[in-house]
Structure 1
């Protein structure tokens, strides 16, 4: 089982009613029609295997880097609103997941174009590419807490 997409409620109910999906999670509410009552689907499981084409990797944009790092500065732990290259691009660093972290403006300016060992700083984690797609980022988990056990961060 793997997450495929986020559906509108109407489409989710149609999949359940047609027998193409079963409800794995519900928030306890019911949808009522004249002759039938259906639990409000929050997480569905398809009844048949669906081939999923290979997904393209998520690019390290400002939005996706901030989402990966939960809007926390990699240097001071405060709120982040920009991104920083650990190994500066002016010194040959590349714009890739392993070299980009979220940073607050203050730390970004203090670091400037220096390397971490030059100013005595250390990262608390090793930056890496996230395993989620853009549709299943941390924003989706915050939107619906019941999804968190089905989404691998």
Structure 2
């Protein structure tokens, strides 16, 4: 008979966040439990800390990993980050750059509108709430009379940006010393 203690029949267990460490215990990424179990099953990673929950399949029950470590080194890129919605919102700390409203419902605004020759580059995009983006529309800052709280700039290369603005699990803190 299979013991069901500590097992939660929750399909979201495989979506639980797992801290992925490099061979030298340097934080690399946050992946899903499904990806972590796959890496361990392929012999590419080992569990360092397991959570108190288990994950079940038709034939097995495994402890749900919380922190795993790769058996090999992965070079962390130090080049500039690609412009994406998520990276932009991280740079601007999920804050509208016109009214300073903190929200997760942000839009991308081009300081110099694309219709007026503005480019889609770090130095020309900011996070804006829907109201401010609607007010500015296709106008320049001078025409819209809106003021930026900070000048947009390309973020400095930081391989640990994925840990910014996140709730860090207690068992991860020994591996992320700046969050402890």
TM-score, shorter chain, exceeding 0.5:
yes
> What's 1:23 paired with?
47
Greater strand proportion: 2
The aligned length equals 138
> What's 1:97 paired with?
122
Deviation at 1:41, TM superposition (A): 1.8
Cα shift readout 1:13-38 (whole Å, capped 9, x = no counterpart): 436xx5x5343444344679xxxx97
Deviation at 1:100, TM superposition (A): 0.7
**1:111 aligned to 2:98?**
no
Residues 131 and 51 of structure 1: CA distance in aligned 2, closer, same or farther (over 3 Å) = closer
**1:128 aligned to 2:151?**
no
Please give the residue correspondences for 1:63-82 in structure 2 after superposition, counting only pairs within 5 Å.
Answer: 64-66=87-89, 68-78=91-101, 79=103, 80-82=105-107
Deviation at 1:96, TM superposition (A): 0.6
Q: Normalising by the residue count of structure 1, what TM-score does the alignment of the two structures yield?
A: 0.57
Whole-Å Cα distance in 2 between the matches of residues 50 and 40 of structure 1?
24
Whole-Å Cα distance in 1 between the matches of residues 39 and 124 of structure 2?
39
Give unmatched runs, 5+ long, in structure 1: none
Deviation at 1:74, TM superposition (A): 1.4
1:45 paired residue among 59, 65, 69: 69
Give unmatched runs, 5+ long, in structure 2: 1-25
Instruction: Tell me the C-alpha RMSD between the 2 structures.
Output: 4.4
Deviation at 1:120, TM superposition (A): 6.1
Whole-Å Cα distance in 2 between the matches of residues 116 and 26 of structure 1?
55
Name the SS for the 1:65 alignment partner: helix
Is residue 45–residue 71 contact of structure 2 (8 Å, CA) maintained in 1? Answer: yes
**1:58 aligned to 2:53?**
no
